Chain A
Amino acid sequence: MKRSRRSFLKIAGISALGIGSKPILNAFSASAPQGDTPQPAVMRKPEALTAKHWAMVIDTTKFKSRDDFKPIIEACHSIHNVPELKNKNHEIKWIWEEGYKHAFPTLENPYFEEKVKDLPFLVLCNHCENPPCVRACPTKATFKRESDGIVLMDFHRCIGCRFCMAACPYGARSFNFRDPRPFIKEEKINLKFPRRTKGVVEKCNFCAERLAVGQLPACVEAANGAIIFGDLADPDSDVRKLVSTNYTIRRKLSLGTSPSVYYIV
């Protein structure tokens, strides 16, 4: 009797291990042909805005003061149900203001006037062409959309390991250290965009949900022409023209991440 219980447990253990490794093996054989089973296709709305490589140009010369940033940040954060947390440790931000020396720490010049060192810049997720956060994520909860290069988050798959936050060299990611819902002002809740739960990471999504219904990103709309958004792969697009005719800088270019957010200075 003892013997058989033992061997049963052994076989059960090995079987459990085998079943558990199935998805792992699948991952390695993912490139194998899937046979004749039809693959699901994503249907696009006719009014959706599409591009091969969405990119953003922030024309910093068009901002007169810090006050110009406020409506932009406000537009983004209210549309995306970003909570206002008082505790700085728990802060969540998608687009925010940084002084020049923080936004471009490698481009500092000691002889800049203090005024210039602290010159405010709008910063957000760079939607890198080669995103380190996507490389780090152990569940593909953050991924680069192949069709248009936007780096997205699946809030329902994220396990909250925060590897992506360690990987991001731009501090673009925030973590829900507590339930964010009580900190979204009732009158501001946007029921068309999901609120998050505690324990997941979030960041700017280039307003993928607005592009899908033919709207430009909220910050672009609120910026009165100071932020330009378009298809960098299209030689006739505004962003492409601006980037080819102006001197632009990108954040931490030496890291090889290739940000899709350009700054005209």
Chain B
Amino acid sequence: MLELALKGSKKYYGWMTLLLGVIGGGFVFYLWQFNFGLGITGMSRDVSWGFYIAQFTFLVGVAASAVMVVLPYYLHDYKAFGRITILGEFLAVASVTMCILFIFVDLGQPMRVVNVILYPTPNSVLFWDMIVLNGYLFLNIIVGWKVLEAERNGIAPPAWVKPLIYLSIPWAVSIHTVTAFLYCGLPGRGFWLTAILAPRFLASAFAAGPAFLILLCLLIRKLTKFDPGKEQIQSLAKIVTYGILMNVFFLVCEVFVVFYSQIPEHMDHMKYLFFGLHGHGVLVPWMWTSVGLMLLAIILLVNPITRQNESVLAVACLAVFAGTWIDKGLGMISGGFVPSPLHHVNEYVPTIPEIIITLGVYATGFLVLTALFKIAVSIKEEIAA
């Protein structure tokens, strides 16, 4: 089936070449970082994780959201999603690939990455994160591939795939839970020290991931002969609606606890993000934009008239994606480091090389995503013909 990714239109080749160009650019800058050290980034002694880890966190959510199409189809026998489960699974594969790359480019000594396996440390959450991420990658590659292959050949998928599919459901929840545990188990980081962090991550994941999938479905309908289906898109839209409502509700819960209890170690991070602290507040406009986008999305999604209009739905999905990206990809990580545990306010802003490397990783993800979607869609077209 892999050969299907190699045959395509001029547009397809053009897009892939563009992505390869961006990857190449990112790679050159990565070589610079590899040579110089992480000093070319905006990270510091106080903000020791930055853009890379934030993107990783956001994309774990996009990956986990595949469960939102797999679960209704396989557990509730919601037949309509049979058409698009493969898209969810392949989106997960591309996202996890990016997650792993983002962790990799964040390492100070990437040549030693195998130490995590050579000296396994079960008390470290990062060890478990490695296991769940790689496991999820394999599960989705195997399940997606086998089911698609069977579909192409007009036969039922092999029986041993079923248990893997069922396993992938709790596994999806686990990847984002473990990722949240990276942060929420740390003493002295008041912003993350909340039991609601994992649920919050999952809620934003179940909003952002399906929103992105809707956008991809609309794009596929436009570019190919395969139509993911109106019903499918509307069902996804309802999932996005619940996801974004939960996400904003959880944010409100956080805000209440933090500002009603008035415990400085917890409150100061929120103050920094939304109002600025001791005259520092680069993220303030971003955070309010994020809140605005999420509220706009809620208005557009809750109202059935606007939700059922696919053009408006696309706008709402963009708002959900951008809003949750700012929340998690910008605010969540550096917000936890500012102020520092010693209550110094040292702000973090990513540098240009850091952003180019980030774009390189995203381009790699999109390359994988495009190739996998091309295979899936070609087979869907083949079957329909």
Q: With a CB–CB cut-off of 8 A, which chain B residues contact A20?
A: 117
Closest to B188 in A: A169
B186 touches A171 (CB 8 A): no
State whether the Cβ of A24 lies closer than 8 Å to any Cβ in chain B: yes
A136 touches B342 (CB 8 A): no
Closest to B113 in A: A159
State whether the Cβ of B38 lies closer than 8 Å to any Cβ in chain A: yes
B 57-68 binary contact with A (CB < 8 Å = 1; else 0): 000000000000
Considering the chains assembled together, what is the distance between the CA atoms of A163 and B126 in angstroms? 8
A199 touches B45 (CB 8 A): no
Q: Pick from B103-111, B210-218, B313-321 the stretch touching chain A.
A: B103-111
Considering the chains assembled together, what is the distance between the CA atoms of A138 and B130 in angstroms? 10
Considering the chains assembled together, what is the distance between the CA atoms of A179 and B126 in angstroms? 26
Which of B39, B106, B118, B265 interacts with A177 by CB under 8 Å?
A: B39
B121 touches A138 (CB 8 A): yes
State whether the Cβ of A158 lies closer than 8 Å to any Cβ in chain B: yes
* Given A27-B120, A105-B342, A163-B126, CB of A136 within 8 Å of CB of B186: yes
Size range of the interface on B? 35 or more
Size range of the interface on A? 35 or more
* Given A102-B342, A178-B36, CB of A165 within 8 Å of CB of B124: no
B44 touches A255 (CB 8 A): no
* Given A106-B265, A157-B119, A178-B36, CB of A91 within 8 Å of CB of B45: yes
B108 touches A163 (CB 8 A): no
Closest to B44 in A: A89
A160 touches B119 (CB 8 A): no
State whether the Cβ of B341 lies closer than 8 Å to any Cβ in chain A: yes
State whether the Cβ of B292 lies closer than 8 Å to any Cβ in chain A: no
A171 touches B46 (CB 8 A): yes
Name the distance in Å between A126's Cβ and chain B's nearest Cβ. 12
Considering the chains assembled together, what is the distance between the CA atoms of A200 and B36 in angstroms? 13
CB contact list, B169-191 vs A, under 8 A: 182-183, 186-189
State whether the Cβ of A90 lies closer than 8 Å to any Cβ in chain B: yes
Q: With a CB–CB cut-off of 8 A, which chain B residues contact A103?
A: 342
A163 touches B124 (CB 8 A): yes
Name the distance in Å between A75's Cβ and chain B's nearest Cβ. 22
Name the distance in Å between A255's Cβ and chain B's nearest Cβ. 4
Considering the chains assembled together, what is the distance between the CA atoms of A20 and B37 in angstroms? 29
B38 touches A160 (CB 8 A): yes
Considering the chains assembled together, what is the distance between the CA atoms of A39 and B116 in angstroms? 24
Query: What are 25 A-to-B residue pairs whose CB atoms are below 8 Å?
Result: A24-B120, A24-B131, A27-B120, A89-B39, A92-B45, A105-B264, A139-B121, A157-B115, A158-B109, A160-B107, A161-B103, A162-B48, A162-B108, A163-B124, A165-B45, A166-B48, A166-B186, A167-B187, A169-B188, A170-B188, A171-B341, A171-B342, A175-B48, A179-B36, A252-B188
User: Which A residues are within 8 Å of any B CB, using their own CB?
Assistant: 20, 23-24, 26-28, 87-92, 98, 101-103, 105-106, 132, 135-141, 157-163, 165-171, 174-179, 197-201, 252, 255-257
In addition to A28-B122, A159-B107, A169-B186, 12 A-B residue pairs with Cβ atoms within 8 Å of each other are A23-B117, A23-B118, A27-B120, A27-B122, A98-B342, A132-B186, A135-B123, A166-B186, A171-B45, A177-B44, A199-B37, A200-B109
User: Which B residues are within 8 Å of any A CB, using their own CB?
Assistant: 36-39, 41-46, 48-49, 103, 106-110, 112-113, 115-127, 130-131, 182-183, 186-189, 264-265, 336-337, 340-344, 346
